């Protein structure tokens, strides 16, 4: 797999983006984020998102790496209907470590995260949409098989979405992420065990 950016569109293009060595290298703009209201009280919709449209059910996978140094540096995947209905998942740097993070926004955002205690270079995420659910999985280049991170409700009336790699850096600019590959296909399965 690779990333065919000719079929994709940027929401909030990053200030720097280079295709090199079969991967997409990107650098964030200053204080970019996706978040809606909860706890922090602010509304942010200026993170970077490279996407393609999808209708109905699907499975999307992306693999990526990043130079996580500052609080909330993050990279991964987004599924988005509009500014107040979306999901992002991937690595987020918090409490001095990489965490697998999922934010689901249905008007307001929620956040779940767990620390990844083993060393790795590359993270992969898989998101499968089946009707009213997003099944979110992850694995690193040091793990065997996919692990479940979350089963999240996503409004089934929102049939048309955009899907693809996303990244941002709420505390700084210049966060570098590298997206190694991306695929978007029909749903693999309804199995979660």
- Res 1: pLDDT: 52
For CA atoms 22, 23, 24, 30, the dihedral sign is negative
Tokens 């995947």 sit on residue: 77
Question: How much is the mean pLDDT over the chain?
Answer: 96
Helix (H, G, I), strand (E, B) or coil at 7: helix
pLDDT digit string, tens, across residues 85-108: 999 999 999 999 999 999 999 999
- Nearest 10 degrees: CA dihedral of 177, 121, 89, 32? -30
pLDDT, mean of residues 14-42: 95
pLDDT, mean of residues 134-155: 96
Q: Which of 87-91, 132-136, 142-146, 152-156 shows the lowest per-residue confidence on average (mean pLDDT)?
A: 142-146
Tokens 């964030």 sit on residue: 28
pLDDT digit string, tens, across residues 30-82: 999 999 999 999 999 999 999 999 999 999 999 999 999 999 999 999 999 99
Is the confidence at residue 27, as pLDDT, over 70? yes
- Res 65: pLDDT: 98
pTM attached to this predicted model:
0.96
- Res 193: pLDDT: 64
Is the confidence at residue 192, as pLDDT, over 80? no
Residue 153 corresponds to which tokens in the numbers above?
């409700």
- The CATH code of domain 5-185 reads 2.60.120.200
Could you tell me where the beta strands, DSSP code E, fall in the chain? 9-11, 16-20, 23-27, 34-36, 43-45, 48-55, 58-66, 74-82, 85-94, 97-106, 108-115, 123-130, 133-140, 147-153, 160-168, 176-185
Is the confidence at residue 4, as pLDDT, over 90? no
Closest CA to 123 of 79, 49, 165, 62: 62
- Is residue 51 within 8 A of residue 58, CB to CB? The reply is no
Q: Is 160 exposed, middle or buried (0-12, 13-18, 19+ CB in 10 A)?
A: exposed
- Res 121: pLDDT: 94
C-alpha span between 189 and 63 (Å, rounded): 20
């Amino acid at each position: 797999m690779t990333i065919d950016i000719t079929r994709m569109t940027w929401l909030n293009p990053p200030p720097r983006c280079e295709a090199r060595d079969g991967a997409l290298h990107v650098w964030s703009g200053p204080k970019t984020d996706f978040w809606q209201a909860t706890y922090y009280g602010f509304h942010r919709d200026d993170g970077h998102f490279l996407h393609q449209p999808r209708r109905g059910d699907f499975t999307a996978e992306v693999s990526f790496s990043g130079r996580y140094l500052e609080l909330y540096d993050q990279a991964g995947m987004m599924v988005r209907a509009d500014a107040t209905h979306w999901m992002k998942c991937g690595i987020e740097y918090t409490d001095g470590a990489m965490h697998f993070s999922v934010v689901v926004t249905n008007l307001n955002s929620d956040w779940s995260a767990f620390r990844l205690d083993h060393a790795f270079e590359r993270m992969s995420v898989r998101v499968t949409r089946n009707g009213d659910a997003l099944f979110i999985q992850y694995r690193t280049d040091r793990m065997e098989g996919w692990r479940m991170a979350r089963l999240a409700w996503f409004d089934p009336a929102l049939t048309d979405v955009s899907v693809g790699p996303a990244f941002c850096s709420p505390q700084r600019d210049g966060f570098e992420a590298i997206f190694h590959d991306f695929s978007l296909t029909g749903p693999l399965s309804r199995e979660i065990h």
